[in-house]
């Protein structure tokens, strides 16, 4: 990311995250510098949301790159998703797995989830599947009985995940759920695939989590707009050459009960949805970290954002809302 680079000096893409956190609209691309390059785009449902892939590549390979990205995203969705029939659902069903037999993808998610948990006072927790199910997210969100929340809490949390010898063990009934990092991780993986296959630049957006970049000589700036969590206008425009942006918020997956907003980001300390944080936008080097950290900061708010090591991010924007509905923006770092 080079803040000093002249605006739109060769090519740029304008992605508007409008109307919804996840809606992305490609406005235009300039490719005059390099007429043999083709820009191709695909928008498709995956990981329980919509994904947009944009590649700029040789006209002979651009189509193949896009279809390979799509195949890899579907494969990872099945292997790492709670609703898949692959590796994660096997592990959740059996309650154990041999660590040497784990795929590099699942190992990455486990290791990096533990790391993100360690830098966020355990507010990021990938072992809360039972609690998420108790709240009914995403298909049947509802206010559960407090007894059910307490019962779900005993089977949730990383304290229910152990390693014995070379075996990973889950306590009885505990479910891993990588919903807060898997979209970002998938964005990283399919971005890397596109570049390995020869794309000179690419952007992947999955449910609002973005990974983008390109060859230095193409000098493309990706222009991204982040939506105001309490309005339909744009809150922030960003220009990024290489990097990742993720936004978590209480305004996409939520319901109201008794005038109170309940969203799908849960506080492991209480078993209840976070409150007081409307959105968190993280700009990081990779989308897996941006995704997971945005979720953790949604739970812990400005305290968590203030304590994150500088090396993990370049910019954090937290939008808070107090009991009177007053909205305040707080930020740390810069692009
Ligand atoms: P989005 O899916 O809108 O991008 P997040 O990245 O914040 O939102 O992920 C939210 C999902 O992560 C929830 O639906 C749930 O599956 C899981 N989750 C909820 N709370 C936490 C938490 N504190 N730590 C880790 N995962 C969580
Ligand atoms: Mg997340």
Nearest Cα to Cα of residue 250 among 301, 212, 216: 301
**Does the C-beta of 268 come closer than 6 Å to ligand 1?**
yes
pLDDT at 232 over 90: no
pLDDT at 3 over 80: no
pLDDT (tens digit per residue) in 59-81: 999 999 999 999 999 999 999 99
**Does the C-beta of 144 come closer than 6 Å to ligand 1?**
no
pLDDT at 258 over 80: yes
Contact of 33 with 10, CB cutoff 8 Å? yes
**Does the C-beta of 88 come closer than 6 Å to ligand 1?**
no
For residues 236 and 226, give the distance between their C-alpha atoms in angstroms, rounded to a whole number. 5
> Between 306 and 24, where is the model more confident?
306
pLDDT at 220 over 90: no
CA–CA distance from 85 to each of 90, 95, 110 (Å)? Answer: 7, 15, 18
Angle, vertex CA 17, rays to CA 14 and CA 22, nearest 5: 130
pLDDT at 9 over 80: no
> 297: helix, coil or strand?
helix
For residues 179 and 319, give the distance between their C-alpha atoms in angstroms, rounded to a whole number. 22
Residue 37 is predicted with a pLDDT of 85
b (16+ CB within 10 A) / e for 243-254: bbbbbbbbbbbe
pLDDT at 28 over 90: no
**Does the C-beta of 117 come closer than 6 Å to ligand 1?**
no
Residue 36 is predicted with a pLDDT of 79
Q: Domains in the chain and their CATH numbers? A: 1-20+242-335 (3.10.520.10), 87-170 (1.10.3980.10)
> Between 19 and 306, where is the model more confident?
306
pLDDT at 194 over 50: yes
Cα 273 to middle of ligand 1, angstroms: 10
Query: What residues have CB less than 8 Å from 133, skipping those under 6 apart?
Result: 152, 175
| pLDDT band with cut points at 50, 70 and 90 for residue 332 | very high
Quote the percentage of the chain above a pLDDT of 90.
Answer: 85
Angle, vertex CA 53, rays to CA 230 and CA 287, nearest 5: 60
Range of weakest confidence among 8-22, 77-91, 230-244, 309-323: 8-22
SS (H, E, C) 188-251: HHHHHHHHHCCCCEEEEEECCEEEEEECHHHCEEEEEEEECCCCCCEEEEEEECCEEEEEEECC
Residue 32 is predicted with a pLDDT of 52
HSE, CB side, 13 Å, CA atoms: give it for residue 169. 9
For residues 163 and 176, give the distance between their C-alpha atoms in angstroms, rounded to a whole number. 14
Cα 125 to middle of ligand 2, angstroms: 11
For residues 113 and 278, give the distance between their C-alpha atoms in angstroms, rounded to a whole number. 23
Residue 34 is predicted with a pLDDT of 65
pLDDT (tens digit per residue) in 140-154: 999 999 999 999 999
């Amino acid at each position: 990311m080079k803040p000093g680079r002249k605006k739109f000096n060769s090519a740029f893409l304008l992605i508007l995250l409008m109307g919804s956190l996840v809606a992305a609209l490609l406005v235009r691309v300039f490719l005059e510098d390099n007429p043999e390059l083709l820009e191709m785009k695909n928008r498709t449902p995956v990981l329980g949301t919509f994904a947009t892939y944009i590649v700029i590549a040789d006209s002979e390979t651009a189509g193949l790159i896009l279809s390979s990205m799509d195949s890899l995203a579907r494969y990872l969705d099945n292997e790492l998703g709670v609703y898949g029939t692959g590796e994660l659902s096997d592990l959740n069903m059996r309650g154990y797995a041999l660590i040497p037999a784990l795929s590099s993808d699942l190992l990455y998610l486990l290791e990096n989830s533990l790391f993100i948990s360690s830098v966020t006072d355990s507010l990021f927790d990938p072992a809360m599947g039972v609690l998420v199910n108790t709240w009914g997210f995403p298909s049947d969100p509802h206010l559960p009985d407090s007894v059910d929340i307490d019962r779900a809490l005993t089977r949730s949390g990383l304290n229910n995940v152990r390693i014995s010898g070379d075996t990973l063990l889950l306590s009885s009934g505990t479910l891993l759920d990588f919903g807060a990092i898997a979209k970002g991780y998938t964005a990283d993986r399919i971005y890397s695939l596109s570049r390995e296959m020869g794309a000179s630049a690419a952007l992947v957006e999955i449910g609002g989590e973005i990974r983008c970049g390109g060859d230095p000589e193409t000098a493309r700036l990706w222009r991204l707009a982040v939506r105001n969590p309490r309005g339909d206008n744009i809150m922030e425009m960003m220009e990024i050459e290489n990097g990742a942006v993720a936004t978590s918020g209480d305004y996409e997956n939520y319901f109201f009960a008794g005038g109170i907003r309940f969203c799908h980001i849960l506080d492991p300390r209480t078993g209840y949805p976070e409150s007081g944080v409307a959105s968190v936008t993280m700009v990081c080097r990779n989308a897996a970290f941006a995704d997971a950290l945005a979720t953790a900061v949604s739970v812990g708010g400005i305290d968590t954002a203030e304590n994150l090591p500088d090396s993990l991010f370049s910019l954090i924007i937290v939008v808070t809302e107090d009991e009177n509905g007053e909205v305040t923006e707080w930020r740390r770092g810069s692009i």
